[in-house]
Amino acid sequence: MKNILITGGAGFIGSHVVRLFVKTFTSDHIYNLDALTYAGNLENLKDIESADNYSFIHADIQNLEVLTEIFETNKITHVIHLAAESHVDRSITDPLAFVKTNVLGTANLLQAAKEYWKDEYTDKLFYHVSTDEVYGSLGDTGFFYEDTAYDPRSPYSASKASSDHFVRAYHHTYGLPIVISNCSNNYGPNHFPEKLIPLMINNIIHKKPLPVYGEGLNVRDWLYVIDHARAIECIFSKGENGETYNIGGHNEWTNIDLVHVLCDTMDEKLNRTQGESRKLISYVKDRAGHDLRYAIDATKLKDELGWVPSLQFEEGLRKTIDWYLSNDSWLENVTSGAYAQYYKSMY
């Protein structure tokens, strides 16, 4: 039996991973460790919180002593590490918060695993969830491959790159069994509305301006969050020790084209006149150091482990919009209080 520690399981992607694992690995135990920062929300897991093979642990990965105790008490055999500060704009305002959680927190978790496993690594795994942003920014053509040189350009991506290096260092130096995956932009239910898609959905609902950075020509490669969770399950089950896998949707959109689709789809769903929401678009000051384009080549994951995305973008986007429209209390809860202040300081 595995005791699987998932960090950041109350966040956007983490909550989908926790749900999938609780439902898939019914003979194993899933421990969800989360500090419940502004981005962590146990509402995301209401449907599985009383499952027999699930426990929540309120803890901060910045605290090594607490992590050591958690490994010992729960006899942790496997780690899937998602806990992080995840928003690029916040990393520009407060870079050190990203160093503390993403760099120090990851190093703490590696150290706690190494100490508890005591160099006995049979049936153990440290799975680190990372991002395509570590590879930097592409021009109009080309893709990120697993061996693309790291070139992080924001405090967020620098902190994630650093955490990736620590994970590989523990593998090479101490033999810790690891896998790393680097994924493109996720979207879907439970996405915190500081990120592009849920922020635009929330603002369209409330007929607020839609802040597009610069000229809206930056390109992102979007993947439905449940497909990311499926990829993590696939790599967890079948990935090779020490390997890196890129995950992506082969689904590139300029920000402005994506915002147009959101506007038009929501006009249709909200019975508004076509074109009404597009009038809310407002071009604002560009993000500092704004990466132009990300695009993942996920051939290795497809060829070696057989994973492919299950959803087309248009369908995923419709499902996402429907989720936000029918979960207005979730949206209201996360946008009340501190969010209003964040929004005012940012836009």
CA distances from 329 to 18, 202, 284, 305 (A): 22, 12, 29, 39
C-alpha to C-alpha distance for 202 and 220, rounded to whole angstroms = 20
Interface with ligand NAD in residues 61-90 (CB under 6 A): 61-62, 82-86
Nearest Cα residue to 196 out of 257, 128, 114, 109: 257
The dihedral built from the CA positions of residue 97, 102, 103 and 109, taken in this order, carries a sign that is: positive
Task: Examine residue 18 and tell whether it contacts ligand NAD (CB under 6 A).
Answer: no
- Give yes or no for residue 88 binding ligand DAU (CB under 6 A): yes
Is 34 a binder of ligand NAD (CB under 6 A)?
A: yes
d(CA 247, CA 245): 6
Neighbour count for residue 282 (Cβ, 10 Å): 12
How many residues bind to ligand DAU according to rule CB under 6 A?
A: 19
By beta-carbon distance, which residue lies closest to ligand NAD? 11
Is 196 a binding residue for ligand DAU by CB under 6 A? The answer is yes
For residue 343, the minimal CB distance to ligand DAU (Å) is 10
Closest CB to ligand DAU among 48 and 179? 179
Q: Is 317 in the site for ligand DAU (CB under 6 A)?
A: no
The verdict on 10 binding ligand NAD (CB under 6 A) reads: yes
Catalytic residues: 132-133, 156
Could you tell me which stretch among 35-43, 229-237, 248-256, 307-315 binds ligand NAD (CB under 6 A)?
A: 35-43
- Write out the binding residues for ligand DAU, residues 236-275 only, by CB under 6 A: 255
**CA 7 remoteness from chain centre:** 12
Residue with tokens 């407002």, as numbered in its chain: 282
Residue 174 CB, shortest distance to ligand DAU, in Å, is 27
Task: Report strand pairing: 219-224 vs 252-254.
Answer: antiparallel
Shorter beta-carbon distance to ligand DAU: residue 41 or 77: 41
Q: How far is the CB of 129 from ligand DAU (least distance, A)?
A: 10
| 193 belongs to the binding site for ligand DAU (CB under 6 A) | no
Residue 38 in the binding site for ligand DAU (CB under 6 A): no
CB 26 within 8 A of CB 2: no
For residue 315, the one-letter residue type is E
DSSP assignment of 129-195: EEEGGGG--B-SS--B-TTSPP---SHHHHHHHHHHHHHHHHHHHH---EEEEEE-EEESTT--TTS
Taking contact as CB under 6 A, which single stretch among the options 29-37, 119-127, 268-276, 326-334 is the one that binds ligand NAD?
A: 29-37
Which spans of this chain sit near ligand DAU (rule: CB under 6 A)?
Answer: 86-88, 131-133, 184-185, 195-196, 199, 211-213, 218, 220, 255, 287, 294
